Chain A
């Protein structure tokens, strides 16, 4: 079964502290994974994708096929990082995008 799991519903950290949002997936084949973000009163938008291997707004995510994980990390959290974060998987065999249940990140000043 194709599945994306985000175990934390809420993550609260202080400004300047490191952040790690966990994501695990279940997929037979080579997955294409994404992190999407939804800031308050804004549309859901792409933050980064594993194939681009880039850092966006200080966030990085590494695909670990052995652990079937795609955790999102940032070394120093900023208040503007407060948002809802979704991990997502693109299933090429089914032509659909599956999302996790989301993690609300709250950065305390």
Chain B
């Protein structure tokens, strides 16, 4: 299917475990982003990528790792999950000629 998809949609994990959230887009957009959505904080940028093999930290990168070996994939890894990382995570992509961001459906992550 065309578009941007995230997996899993829901995830419960234990404190200290490593967990990876997947993001895949079919448009070949060069820009990709990871945000977390928390009540009172809105959407905060975790990491972003301007192209394959190029990533940069956003506002709240601590505890997260990203990679972008292929243009279409931008996985987000929580190296050792903490309860403060319980959130809804959104992946987005955009093209520099358009700049509109297209969002995935979100992943609701609960760390217990």
Contact = CB atoms under 8 A, between A and B. Distances in A.
A30 B103 CA distance: 25
Contact of A101 (B40, B48, B58, B103): B40
Given A45-B103, A49-B100, A99 B48 contact: no
B90 to A, nearest CB: 7
Interface string B74-112: 000000000000000010101010011101111000000
How many B residues are at the interface, by size bracket? 20 to 34
B90 A97 contact: no
B42 A98 contact: no
A97 B42 contact: no
A9 B94 CA distance: 27
Given A9-B40, A34-B100, A45-B103, A96 B90 contact: no
Contact of B104 (A32, A43, A96, A102): A43
Contacts of A34: 100
A46 B100 contact: yes
